[in-house]
Amino acid sequence: MTHYRYSIKILPGATVCEDCTLEGDITIGGGTVIHPRVTIIAEGGPIIIAEYCIIEEYSTIIHKKNEQPENPPKPLFIGAHNVFEVGCRLESLCGHIGESNVFECKSFVGTDVKIGSGCVIGAACSLTTPQTLPDNTVIWGSEHNNREALEKQPSQLLQLDFLGKVMPNYHRLRKSNVHKRQMSRQSQEPAKS
């Protein structure tokens, strides 16, 4: 387990609380805020979180192990401006999560769900069957109603700004350990593939 610790890359500008469980090969992009008590486990392959995401308390992101492991393992790439609200859970085998998605409180996204950009998974909604959510899909309510929004969800830049200022006053933070030059190369690589 100890060797995992070294494979956690935090880029400058990211706010990552110390009180969270990060296991495996994880890259956290600049401007992203990770609240305390967050669990991110990269057991099936690396997880790359792009810039300006908010990951709130008790959310869990797991890159699950595939039954036929590939070599080298494919990464799980989470795009920019995603919001993971309190207690949500995202399980994925590998792949690509678009940008500007909102995973509302206590929502669950299973392994075979492909998510585009600008989607909203409503509070307590759970997606378990294999499916692909086209861009701007909104799912809400106990009936899992869905609709298509006209535009992407507005970005949370103000909130990110605020959190970046406030969090260091109340929580121990992990230090960034990657330089800027490396960051730009790494965050662009998965976007191309």
Partner 1 sequence: MAYLTQPDYVKYACSCGQIKPITSLYFCRHCLQIRCGFCICHEVDSHYCANCLENMPSSEARLKKNRCSSCFDCPSCFHTLSTRATLAQPRQTPEQGSGDSKVENKQAKKMYYLSCFNCRWTSRDVGIPDQPVASGGWPERVNPNATRINQLLDYYKAIAQQEKQEKLDRERKKFAIRGKYITLTDKTGLTGAMARNIAGLPSSESTMSAIANFVPSEASADVEELSEDFYTKELNLNQMTSMPQRLAAPEWQPSSVSRLYPIAKLLSVKRSQRCRACDHNLTKPEYNPGSIKFKIELLAFYHVPEVKIISYEPIKPGCTSALLLKLTNPTGHEMQVRLLQPEEVPDTEDRLEEPKSLEKSLEKSLNLEKDNLWYETVQRKADVTATCRVVTPDVTLTLAQRDDAAEYDDDATHDANDIILWRKSNKLALRLQVSCGAEVGAASAAEAALALQYRYRNTVPAAHEPRDHTLHATLLLQLGHVSG
Cα 134–135–137 angle (5° rounding)?
75
Ranges within 98-127 binding partner 1 (CB under 8 A): 120, 122
Q: Can residue 131 be called a binding residue for partner 1 (CB under 8 A)?
A: no
Q: Nearer to partner 1 by C-beta: 1 or 150?
A: 150
Q: Which of 72, 142, 151, 170 binds partner 1 (CB under 8 A)?
A: 151
Q: Can residue 130 be called a binding residue for partner 1 (CB under 8 A)?
A: no
Q: Nearer to partner 1 by C-beta: 26 or 133?
A: 133
Q: Which of 7, 39, 111, 146 binds partner 1 (CB under 8 A)?
A: 146
Q: Can residue 141 be called a binding residue for partner 1 (CB under 8 A)?
A: yes
Closest distance of CB 185 from partner 1, Å:
34
Cα–Cα distances in angstroms (integers) from residue 140 to residues 14, 77, 93, 148, in the given order: 30, 25, 24, 11
**SS3 state at 93:** coil
Q: CA–CA separation, 84 vs 55, rounded Å?
A: 5
Q: CA–CA separation, 173 vs 166, rounded Å?
A: 12
User: Per CB under 8 A, which region of 36-44, 63-71, 149-157, 160-168 contacts partner 1?
Assistant: 149-157
Q: Which of 112, 135, 140, 178 binds partner 1 (CB under 8 A)?
A: 140
Which stretch of DSSP H or E encloses residue 4? Answer: helix 2-6
Q: Is 37 exposed, middle or buried (0-12, 13-18, 19+ CB in 10 A)?
A: middle
Q: Which of 67, 148, 58, 152 is nearest to 107 (CA)?
A: 58
Q: Nearer to partner 1 by C-beta: 31 or 122?
A: 122
Q: Summarize as ranges the residues that interact with partner 1 (CB under 8 A).
A: 120, 122, 138, 140-141, 145-151, 153
